[in-house]
Amino acid sequence: MKYFISLVLLFSQLSLAKNDAHLNLLIKDACNKNIVILGEEGNHGGGQAILLKTQIIEKLIQECHFTSIYFESGFYDFIDFNHSIDNKVATRNQLANSIGGIWSFTQEMDGLIKYLFKKAQSRKVKLAGLDLQFGITNTYAQKQLPKDMTSFLKKDKVLCEKKISQHINWQYTDKKPFNGAEKVQLNKCAIQISSSLEKQNQSKKIEELKQLTANFIQYLAMLDGNNFNIRDKQMFDNVLWLNKQQSKHEKIIIWTANIHALKSVDQISTKIKPMGVYIATSFKDQSFALGISAQSGQYYNRFKAGNAEITNQDLQSLEAQIQSSDDCFYLNPNKLQSLSAISSIVLDYENPKKADWSKMFDGILVINKEKPVHKINLQQ
């Protein structure tokens, strides 16, 4: 089975090699930017999208000297991963676990993980996570974060470490469920932790603990609702914080979903404010937001836990306008502008939306035929 999957990936990679003309046009548009956001459909289940993003990242690093890659993955475990890099004890599995199972449990991601691990080891790139949420592969968050966060607490240290660990590892039962009282206690602990850290002398360790705690506080706020906006604002705050920690000017790539990459949402929603909006406002013309869509094929739908067909029936849609036999096609800003308001499935393969997409992305890469990721049942 592994041999078959390897052959599938080899043929996919050979096929994608034909797309250099499209990717080179994309790289030309993005090369001189300071921050490039690479989106994908929100299920994160497109194998071709992952392989294309891998090619784009390699080109941006090699040809345009990008130096940092931030994933829509747990902020916490990447802090620990970078400590391991500093101490020369990092492993490739640790990187895979930091990225998280949505991507690292796929065969398509393996090449990028190997590539980035070598780059991180040699200090050629800096890797980080932006998400304030916790994942099943985030072993640092599960085992060590509660102890680290409470390390400067004097009052309620044992209680707070226990409560935070219980929550991150979701150790609740029917008899002792997560409820309002538990949430109040967690918030109380978070405030105490934040106060204890403010009293410490400034150092790299303290600054990291402050940001870890800030993420946890915003994570708790998500439990009260408005999850999307709280999450995306904190991911942007993490971008700014990470930049502040660098000793030199960094060129950044962000790996995320299309919805988080949007630089404007006025035409589709009055309720959400994605990370991409904050980035476009802050970095202005030094940012580049790429959306990735597909004309046909299949993808893995993680909400339905199975492969799903891409069945875009609208012959007037953005995707249907592309008359090309190439495996992917790049729509640059001018091409997007020329399409004006048009229906597209770029945000959700099952729910098309009509908009002037040139206002929302700087470019869109359309895959001719998407293929679902090959999931592996191996927890790193």
Domain of 194? 140-227
Mean pLDDT of 256-267: 97
52-76 average pLDDT score: 97
> How does residue 380 score in pLDDT terms, banded at 50, 70 and 90?
very low
In a domain, 257, yes or no: no
Query: So what's the pLDDT on residue 35?
Result: 98
pLDDT tens column, 147-188: 999 999 999 999 999 999 999 999 999 999 999 999 999 999
With CA atoms as reference, report the closest residue to 77 among 28, 15, 129: 129
List C-alpha distances in Å: 128 to 20, 145, 300.
28, 16, 25
Instruction: Check pLDDT > 90 for residue 303.
Output: no
Residue 47: enclosing H or E segment and its boundaries?
Answer: helix 47-64
Question: For the chain, what percentages of helix, strand and coil (3-state, to nearest 5) are there?
Answer: 50, 15, 30
Number of domains in the chain: 1
Query: In the structure, what pLDDT confidence band is assigned to residue 102 with cuts at 50, 70 and 90?
Result: confident
318/142 Cα distance (integer angstroms): 43
Q: Which pLDDT band, with edges at 50, 70 and 90, does 359 fall under?
A: very high
Q: For the chain, how far is it from start to end, CA to CA, in angstroms?
A: 19
3 CB contacts (<8 Å, ≥6 apart)? none
The reply to whether 212 falls in a domain is yes
pLDDT of residue 226: 82
Q: What is the per-residue pLDDT for 373? A: 94
Domain-located, residue 132: no
- Cβ pair 336, 358 in contact under 8 A: yes
What angle separates helix 204-222 from helix 227-245, to the nearest 10 degrees?
170
Determine the average pLDDT of the residues in 250-259.
97
Max Cα-Cα span within the chain: 67
Burial of 176 from C-beta contacts in 10 A (0-12 / 13-18 / 19+): exposed
Has residue 308 been placed in a domain?
no
Q: Is 150 a domain residue?
A: yes
Choose among 32, 31, 35: nearest CA to 289. Answer: 35
Q: Is 156 contained in some domain?
A: yes
Q: Is residue 184 part of a domain?
A: yes
Check whether 108 has a pLDDT greater than 60.
yes
The closest of 314, 302, 310, 313 to 368, measured between CA atoms, is 310
Q: How confident is the model at residue 337 (pLDDT cuts 50, 70, 90)?
A: very high
Which comes out higher in pLDDT, residue 221 or 378? 221
316 belongs to a structural domain: no
